[in-house]
Amino acid sequence: MKLNLILFFFCTLVTISWAQSPNLSKYNEEIKKIEDTVKYFEVEKINDQFYMLIGGGGNVGVFVSDKNVIMVDNKYEIIEEVLMSSLREITSNPIKYIINTHYHHDHSDGNRAFGKMGVPIISHENAKVRMQKVTQLYGGIYDFIDGFVQDKYPTEALPIITYNSKLTLSEDGEDIEMYNFGSGHTDGDSIIYFKNANIMHTGDAFVRYGYPYVDLNNGGSIKGIIEVLGSIASLANDQTVIMPGHGNLSTKQDVLDLKKSLMNLYQKTVLGLEKGLSYQEIADSIDETLAADPVMPGAELTKLNYIKSIELELNN
Ligand SMILES: [Zn+2]
């Protein structure tokens, strides 16, 4: 009897812990691929103090001050050495702060390495909340993200400074403004504006791979990201250098062009749904299809998925 009871508790415990352990297979697959393929980053120099590191995850922004480095995003923990060797090509200054544009692994997984080293991390308060949980990303727009589970970050990898709507950091005569313009790519996006240099890192609130991914499971909003693009454009001027979360350096006009395309798609979708049109009929009613990046699935399919996602968002 006693043995049965012990066995019962043991089995219950095993079942509970099995049920709670997240399915990280897609995450692990991605990490393996990154480890196997990313051996260096392309370093794009904007001026003597600003650089962009390209490849293996979201674009990393580097600001080299007189004595320090402030880094925006940090790609993946697994390629921290690659990141550091690219950084050391630029400067030997120590990293004073890391700013996370949002909680997604391809931008902030490096927190696991840099947090351990004691580098202070800054993010929007909602990004930190997401990092403290196991999260499942919304797959609807891009099928290959379906079922992608991101593990929670350990305590040392969490931001130690967070803010709500705006935070300003001053370093070596540069004012670094962080803004949250509401729900867009997620509910914890930061736009980082180096005011004097007139350089901006948008994180994934603005990207160059076609239709921007929106994480509807984690506070993202398609209607929201259109508004956020408007706020980014309002903050910028015609000379602002814009580092997107993914893709080439851009301008205010590029941001306005994406906003216009998404607004057109959104409005035609709302109208089409009201008329009872099918997703395909709505897609056909929109002349423009944003070209897909080679790593993303076909542009037509993404457009169709976007329309479905807008309907989902409208019904929520
Ligand atoms: Zn992202």
CATH architecture of 17-252: 4-Layer Sandwich (3.60)
Ligand 1 centroid distance, CA of 35 (Å): 19
Give the pLDDT of residue 22.
86
Centre of ligand 1 to C-alpha 163, Å, is 19
Distance 230 CA to ligand 1 centre (A): 19
What pLDDT shows up at residue 20?
63
For residues 151-165, give the mean pLDDT.
98
Distance 215 CA to ligand 1 centre (A): 8
- By the CB criterion, residues less than 5 angstroms from ion ligand 1 are 104, 204
Residue 286's identity, in one-letter code, is: I
Kindly report, residue by residue over 177-234, the tens digit of the pLDDT.
Answer: 999 999 999 999 999 999 999 999 999 999 999 999 999 999 999 999 999 999 999 9
Task: Share the mean pLDDT of the chain.
Answer: 93
Q: Is the pTM of the predicted complex or chain greater than 0.85?
A: yes
Q: How far apart are CA 211 and CA 190, in angstroms?
A: 19
Cα separation, 55 vs 61, in Å, equals 12
Compute, in angstroms, the gap from residue 185 CA to the centroid of ligand 1.
7
The CA distances from residue 103 to 32, 70, 100, in Å, are: 20, 18, 7
**Distance between Cα 104 and ligand 1 center (Å):** 5
Residue 270 confidence (pLDDT) above 80: yes
pLDDT value of position 142: 86
Calculate the CA 11 to chain-centre distance. Answer: 40
Q: How far is the CA of 207 from the centre of ligand 1 (A)?
A: 10
The model's pLDDT over 94-141, given as tens digits with 9 standing for 90+, comes to 999 999 999 999 999 999 999 999 999 999 999 999 999 999 999 998
265 and 303 Cβ atoms separated by less than 8 Å? yes
Model confidence over 58-104: pLDDT tens digits? 999 999 999 999 999 999 999 999 999 999 999 999 999 999 999 99
Contacting residues for 1 by C-beta, under 8 A, at least 6 apart: none
Residue 150 near residue 164, CB atoms below 8 Å: no
